[in-house]
Structure 1
Amino acid sequence: AVESGDHDSRVSTSEATRAATVAAGTRGLRVLEVGDPLIVRGSVLALEDLVVRLVEAGVGVRELTPVTSPLEAAFLELTGTEADQQADQQADQEPAQ
C-alpha cells in the first residue's frame, strides 16, 4: 500500500540500466521494477529529484506517468473527473437557447 503521500510512477528513459542505478541512489525513492519503464515509489519531491539527477547523469527522460491500479482506472472511467462533473452541472443549469 502507498503510505505517507508516496506515489507509484512509471519512468521511461533513454537508458534503463543507468536510470535504475540513479533511481536506487535517490533519497526517498524505492525502485519497484527495473526495466523500461522503470517503476518507482516516492514522494513528489523525490520524483522531482530523480528527474534532475537523471538529466544530470545524461539520461533522457521520455515519460513520467503516475501508475493507477486497474480498479482505480475503472472507477475514474465510470465516474469521470471532478472537472467533468462540474462542467455537466453547469451545462444543466444554463437555460436552453
Structure 2
Amino acid sequence: GGYRATFEGIRCATKEFVIYAYGDPKRDPAVRKVKAPKWKKYGRTKRADYRVELAHDIFCTGEIPRQLRQIKQGVKGLFEAHNPFDNWTNDD
C-alpha cells in the first residue's frame, strides 16, 4: 500500500544518473528536493538494474539519447530499430 517516487535524470554518454527529488504523498511536503544532487554510475548494484534497462530499452541508443517520439513509443512497447547512420552525412 505504499507509494514512493524518485525524480531522476540519465546521461546516456557517461552511463550516469542523478536523483533530483524524492516523492512520498504521505509526507509533508510530498516532494523533497535533493540539496546537492550528484551524478553516479548506474548498473553497479543489483538494486539499480532498472536504470540499466530503462537507459538501454527506453532512453538511450548507445551513448546517444533517443528523441522524445522514440521514448514515448518505447514506453508504450513500440520499439523502433536504430540505424547508426541516421545522422551521418557525406559532405564530400
TM interval, short-chain normalised: under 0.3
TM-score by length of 2: 0.27
Larger Rg: 1
- Quick check: which one's helix share is greater? 1
